[in-house]
Amino acid sequence: MGKNISFSQVLAIGFMLFAMFLGAGNVIFAPMVGQQAGTNTWIAMGGFLVTGVGLVLLAIIALTRGGGTVEKLAGRVHPLFATIFSILLFLSLGPIYVLPRTTSVVYEIGINPLVQGQSNVGLYLLIFSIIFFALTIVLSWNTTKFVDHLGKIITPIFVVLLIVLVGKSIITPMGSFGPPTGEYIEAGSAFLKGFTQGYYTMDVLAAFVFGGIFIKSISSYGIKSEKEVSKLFIQAGLITIVGLVALQISMAWIGATSIDPIGYMDNGGEVLAQSSIVLFGEIGIYIIGTVILLTGITTNVACLAAVSEYFERIVPSISYKKWLIIFSALSLVITNFGLNTILTMASPILLLLYPLAIALIALIFMNNFFNGHQSVYVGTIIGVGIVAILDALKEANIATQAINNVFGFIPLFEQGAGWIITGIIGSIIGLLVAKSKKEPATIINIAGEKVN
């Protein structure tokens, strides 16, 4: 690299990026996969790790090859699509879903067990969420301090606590793996179910969002050129991937071995809270509460900063710091509807955005094979988008039976992966259109630069 960055600095930056990704979604979904998949846990986790971890690295690389921001990447389809996709993406990673979800999960796991059974529980959530968002705003105020706050202080603390929790569960297992349930009974469906469950970590979408804030946060290191930033982003991404793989496998292990002592739980937060009590007694509440508190604050800081930075760019009349306050206030309101309501509201949005994001990643990596023709981008996104919209409607319980009856002939449609087939068909049609129109080629070299 043109700028001399030491290994310890790369490690600190990698920890910062890991902390940005490591939030509530990374610790509450894998335990549920473990509980429900039972003896098929590792098959299901294979699918989960594809979307929840593997695609994260590909998204990071795709972002560096696609121009460094999600707007430039999605702009290869069409400027209007780029605007709509980016706004939905940032709002989902911000006030509509991730910020309220994270805050609610921190409360449910870290605070609720301590106040359960008391009156005015809703008041406790309100007070906690106000304090939590105030802290998030303070830590988000100056993005150049991210490496110091997240990479050097917070991440090492919760990593140590997680190692203690997981280590105890391995040394003294809570029980044996139970039988697989529901869609996890058959190996094939277990993999596909795990694949779609990986969506809910939001990490692939987060990779698109964190690009801009990552660049801002490393500015103090004097790294300016796109090539240097891209290289450091990928190096930090590799550290992040190793950490996420270890985390997800550990969380699935805890869930799979927890059935004997605690039974089946309604959500991963309960699985972790009850498992911690089994493993450590009453002190377990404080261990898992601290872990969730730290992971929650890092995610909230990263997401609030990223969405505020984006909206400052598209609406410069409102400053970054004002956006911090606006989105915190909106998130605070949504948080107090409760975790179950938040999860229900978000599912259709995720089933719409995730396939589109995966399609964009695939298109960037295959860009040079089809000469970067815009028609291929358009055809693929249309093919993927149609089925993604149908999946979102089904998830929202809108005309579910009618949609299944009409579109059930599409392979993998009922498993939530029919967009793969329609996306391929769309790309073929797009390529034929490009050839007939003699569209110019747009080749991308290894550094992510366009070569016409």
| pLDDT at residue 149, as a whole number | 56
**247, 52 in Cβ contact below 8 A?**
no
Name the band, by pLDDT with cuts 50, 70 and 90, for residue 226: low
Residue 178: other Cβ atoms inside 10 A: 20
Q: Tell me if 154 sits within 8 A of 20, measured CB to CB.
A: no
CA angle 324, 358, 190 (to 5 degrees): 110
Amino acid at 351: L
77: which DSSP letter?
Answer: T
Render pLDDT for 371-422 as a digit per residue (tens, 0 to 9): 889 999 999 999 999 999 999 999 888 888 899 888 888 888 887 789 999 9
Average pLDDT value for residue range 22-27? 71
Q: Is the pLDDT of residue 238 over 90?
A: no
- Please check whether residue 310 is in contact with residue 90, taking contact to mean a CB–CB distance below 8 angstroms: yes
pLDDT tens per residue across span 253-300: 999 999 999 999 887 878 888 899 899 988 888 888 888 888 788 788
Q: How confident is the model at residue 451 (pLDDT cuts 50, 70, 90)?
A: low
1 confidence band (pLDDT: 50, 70, 90): very low
How confident is the prediction for the chain on average, in pLDDT? 84
Please give the structure tokens belonging to residue 94. 């911000």
If you ran DSSP here, which 8-state letter would residue 372 be given? T
CB 106 within 8 A of CB 292: yes
Give the mean pLDDT of 353-364: 92
The residues facing 48 across adjacent strands are none
Say if residue 116 is exposed, middle or buried (CB neighbours under 10 Å; 0-12, 13-18, 19+): exposed
Considering only residues 114 and 139, tell me which one the structure prediction assigns the higher pLDDT. 139
pLDDT at 436: 93
pLDDT one-digit tens code per residue, 308-328: 988 998 999 999 999 999 999
Q: Is the pLDDT of residue 211 over 80?
A: no
Per-residue pLDDT, averaged over 224-232, amounts to 71
Rounded to whole angstroms, the Cα distance separating 379 from 426 reads 4
56-79 per-position pLDDT tens digit: 888 878 887 777 778 888 999 999
DSSP secondary structure, 164-211, as one string: HHHHHHHHS---------GGGSSHHHHHHHHHHHGGGG-HHHHHHHHH
Confidence at residue 121, expressed as pLDDT on a 0 to 100 scale = 67
Report the distance separating Cα 180 and Cα 194, nearest Å: 13
Residue 22: pLDDT over 80? no
Q: How would you class 185 by CB atoms within 10 Å of its CB: exposed for 0-12, middle for 13-18, buried for 19 or more?
A: middle
Tell me which of 103-117, 232-246, 332-346 is least confident: 103-117
- Over residues 126-183, the pLDDT tens digits come to 999 999 999 889 888 876 665 455 556 676 777 788 888 889 999 999 999 989 998 8
Most confident of 149-153, 186-190, 422-426, 447-451: 422-426
Q: Using one digit for the tens of pLDDT, what is the confidence trace for 324-357?
A: 999 999 999 999 987 778 877 778 888 899 899 9
